[in-house]
Chains A and B, each alone.
With several copies, the nearest count.
Chain A
Amino acid sequence: MEERIRVELVSTPIRIEDVMAGLEDPSSGAVTLFLGRVRDHHEGHEVRSIHYQAYAEMALPVMGSIAEETLAKFPVSRIAILHRVGHLQVGEVSVLVAVASAHRDEAFRACRHGIDRIKQDVPIWKKEVLADGTEEWVDARCGGETRG
């Protein structure tokens, strides 16, 4: 399973090209990628930056389970899930999910499944730093956050 799955929690910028290189597989004609980036707005207020806090000892195995579950559920060959922690500016990549598969239908569905499950279960939290200097933890149950 090792080389089919790449799961990482990182504190430095996520390098897309590196991740894509790791998904190379001559039998996979389709690759889908999802990137989550820090947006400049959330529910009507202006966001300056976001601090991501993780329960790392649990987040990593949960990300690993999601990767394995995705490989079991869809006929895909490889998956990469990376999440960044620490202080991120607007525009920086917070999460990456990439999937390689023979065909595009399953590549899209598997990638979507991966990011949906991450947003449900991975113990990572974001605290927004707003334009007025205030900071607040985002509660994923309220408002549009789960659509992010």
Chain B
Amino acid sequence: MSSIRIRLFAVLRDRFGAEFVALDLAPGTTARALLQRLAVQYPDHARHLSTCRVAVNHRFASDTEVVAPEDEVALIPPVSGG
């Protein structure tokens, strides 16, 4: 099983105290499954994780999109630009 580094921003970056969080990645893991796995692993952050969208290679991913180890994955909390 390979591992992936997931980019963190804003409130999640502050909560994790890091710009990345690492996660073991089973083949065929979808964006939605990745978010659920993180919530199980980090229950203290589950509420915030549940508000995030997943971005894969700089685009919002659908729930069913499969994540590969070489992808750039990021968690996108509700945006507040503008």
**A→B interface (CB under 8 Å):** 36, 52-55, 57-59, 61-62, 83, 94-95, 115, 118-127, 137-141, 145, 148
Contacts and interface: CB of A to CB of B under 8 A. Distances in A.
Interface residues of B, number: 20
Contacts of A120: 79
Given A55-B7, A58-B55, A123-B9, A118 B82 contact: yes
B76 to A, nearest CB: 5
9 contacts: A55-B9, A55-B55, A55-B76, A119-B79, A119-B81, A122-B79, A123-B9, A137-B10, A137-B77
B80 A125 contact: yes
Nearest to A118: B82
A61 B9 CA distance: 17
Interface in B43-82: 51, 55, 58-60, 72, 74, 76-82
B11 interface: yes
Contact of B80 (A58, A61, A124): A124
Contacts of A57: 58, 72
Given A125-B9, A125-B11, 16 more contacts: A53-B13, A55-B74, A58-B58, A83-B81, A83-B82, A118-B81, A119-B79, A119-B82, A121-B60, A123-B74, A124-B80, A124-B82, A125-B81, A137-B77, A141-B51, A145-B80
